């Protein structure tokens, strides 16, 4: 059994894939398994995977029909043999000692999962270290309930909580299997949020390696985070369904407030996206109105106490959303 299986979903990254995989083959921890999941990529990425496999016996390749990022990650998990599991996106890379440090921390503290910091690299080449608003160290269940649960799904400032992305974490495989934590394959975007929210709730012990910027996240133009996403509102409502099914039945912590914040956050996100993509003011107003009149969003605003210390513009935006003022919102969101 290798110490860790590193799962890399591969899709249309023929120019970047070798950079990613080279950073994995050059890890100081030799006892690894690298699983490249060719998710039906139409370019030469699949061929590159096969060629890289010939260079390193630790590499395994899966070729599958395109199913999206969540499907590819699940496919890698199903065939993995490592005690721990890590995820690396194929257009990113990592520091040579990333997995040696993270596996050592998991072993030392018998952790269910471990998280590090990362570096965000812009298309201009600028580099920004990113750190969570958490103290470094080991968190037992009580510490997690006190310090992570309050913003596990969504913070009062309408920002994600401290445990968000999967690619700067490793997970004990038996922990994931025991708690049936996997990716929802019909969630195309922000699937990390759902996965890590469930992992964060189920974990008995978590380690945060603050200041250890092991992962390099490249902010490439045209990626999911920078491009228009048709149908995003439907996807996000479906993700909220998964969240509600999992979290609203919990007896040890009340997540109802966070579920409202979660729905409102994504409504803000999608309204902005739709307004920027609209061809005219009237088009933006129609798109905005459709979201504001959704019964799920109306329910989220029922008995909703507005968070304190929000920026004035965001307060105004939320007030307009609550009262379904689509015209004013369209003006604000179109800039």
pLDDT, one tens digit per residue, over 155-180 is: 998 889 899 899 999 999 999 999 99
Residue pLDDT, tens place only, 224-277: 444 667 789 999 999 999 999 999 999 999 999 999 999 999 999 999 999 988
pLDDT of residue 226: 44
pLDDT at 221: 55
In the predicted model, what is the mean pLDDT of residues 69-97? 97
C-alpha–C-alpha distance, residues 41 and 22, integer Å: 20
Tell me the angle at which helices 256-277 and 281-292 cross, rounded to the nearest 10 degrees: 160
Other Cβ atoms closer than 10 A to 192: 22
219 pLDDT above the threshold of 90: no
Nearest to 92 by CA among 4, 195, 151, 9: 9
129, pLDDT greater than 70: yes
Least confident of 43-47, 56-60, 308-312: 308-312
DSSP 102-171: HHHHHHHHT-SEEEEEEEEE-TTS-EEEE--SS-SEEEEHHHHHHHTGGGSS--TTSS--S---STTEEE
327's tokens: 């015209």
* Whether pLDDT at 188 is above 90: no
Q: Please compute the mean of the pLDDT values over residues 29-57 and round it to a whole number.
A: 97
Q: What is the pLDDT of residue 222?
A: 46
Alpha-carbon gap, residue 313 to 145, rounded angstroms: 32
Q: State the Cα–Cα distance between residues 335 and 333, nearest whole angstrom.
A: 5
- Report yes or no: 152 and 197 within 8 Å, Cβ to Cβ: yes
Q: Quick one: pLDDT band at residue 291, thresholds 50, 70, 90?
A: very high
Q: Is beta strand 4-10 parallel, antiparallel or unpaired with respect to 32-39? A: parallel
Give yes or no for residue 90 having a pLDDT over 70: yes
Residue 243 has what DSSP assignment? H
Pairing state between β 205-218 and 93-94: antiparallel
Q: In whole angstroms, what is the distance from residue 191 CA to residue 212 CA? A: 24
Residue 332 confidence (pLDDT): 86
């Amino acid at each position: 059994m290798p110490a860790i299986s590193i799962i890399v979903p591969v899709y249309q990254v023929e120019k970047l894939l070798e950079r990613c995989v080279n950073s994995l083959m050059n890890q100081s921890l030799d006892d690894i398994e690298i699983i490249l999941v060719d998710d039906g990529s139409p370019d030469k990425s699949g061929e590159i995977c096969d060629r890289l496999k010939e260079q390193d016996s630790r590499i395994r390749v899966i070729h599958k029909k395109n199913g999206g990022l969540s499907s590819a990650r699940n496919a890698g998990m199903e065939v993995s043999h490592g005690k721990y599991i890590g995820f690396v996106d194929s257009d990113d890379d990592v520091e040579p000692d990333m997995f040696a440090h993270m596996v050592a921390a998991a072993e030392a503290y018998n952790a269910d999962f471990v998280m590090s910091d990362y570096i965000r690299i812009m298309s201009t080449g600028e580099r920004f270290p990113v750190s969570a608003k958490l103290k470094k160290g080991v968190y037992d269940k009580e510490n997690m309930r006190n310090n992570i649960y309050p913003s596990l799904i969504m913070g009062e400032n309408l920002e994600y909580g401290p445990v968000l992305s999967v690619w700067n974490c490793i997970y004990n495989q038996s922990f994931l299997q025991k708690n049936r934590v996997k990716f929802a394959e019909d969630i195309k975007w922000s699937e990390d949020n759902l996965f890590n929210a469930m992992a964060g709730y189920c974990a008995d012990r978590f380690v945060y390696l603050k200041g250890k910027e092991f992962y390099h996240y490249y902010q490439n133009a045209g990626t999911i985070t920078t491009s228009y996403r048709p149908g995003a509102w439907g996807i996000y409502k479906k993700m909220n369904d998964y969240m509600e099914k999992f979290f609203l039945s919990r007896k040890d912590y009340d997540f109802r407030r966070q579920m409202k914040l979660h729905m409102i956050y994504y409504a803000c996100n999608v309204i902005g996206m739709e307004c920027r993509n609209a061809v005219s003011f009237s088009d933006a107003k129609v798109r905005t109105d459709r979201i504001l009149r959704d019964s799920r969003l109306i329910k989220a605003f029922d008995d909703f106490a507005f968070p304190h210390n929000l920026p004035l513009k965001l307060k105004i935006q939320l007030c307009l959303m609550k009262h379904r003022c689509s015209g004013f919102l369209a003006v604000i969101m179109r800039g």
